[in-house]
Structure 1
Amino acid sequence: MTHHKAATTSPFTTGGWAAAASCGPNGGNCVQINLDTEGVVGVRDGKRPSGPVLAFTATSWRAFLAAVRAGRLER
């Protein structure tokens, strides 16, 4: 397993966060994503916009979405 040091600054713009339309205007209980930084996808909890952000390479994010769509992450 590779361990990475937490970043102290975010490469993501504050206005670039988006959630599904069904989440409503305040983010609700939804995950938000940010695609503003080329090659990197940011993921955060909509209830905690100033909380931690997970950052994925675009390739890893596409692989994750493909696994979700294929049902490979269901229990």
Structure 2
Amino acid sequence: MPATVDLISPVWRKSSYSDPEVENCVEVATPTPHLIPVRDSKRPHSSVLAIPPAAWSAFITAIRTDTSIR
């Protein structure tokens, strides 16, 4: 049975690298054991991506280690 995740009232946060005055960011919600909720800050009531933790971890590792994208 699939796990249910509360995507209605999670606590969303932007990267500490984001400018607080800019709404052009990706936001991440408090993770669950099975999913990392991600959304576009410009469209907070639009779709949410639910990313498996292993894929999110690989993404974050790639960002931290690839200096060409900074």
TM-score normalized by structure 1? 0.66
TM-score normalized by structure 2? 0.70
Counterpart among 20, 23, 29 of residue 19 in structure 2? 23
Uncovered stretches (5+) of structure 1, i.e. residues with no partner = 1-9
The one-letter amino acid of 2:7's match is F
Identity over aligned pairs, percent: 31
Cα distance in structure 2, aligned partners of 1:12 and 1:36: 10
Describe the SS at the equivalent of 2:23: coil
1:69: how far off?
1.2
Aligned alpha-carbon RMSD (Å): 2.8
Cα distance in structure 2, aligned partners of 1:54 and 1:65: 15
4+ residue segments displaced more than 4 Å? none
How many residue pairs get matched? 65
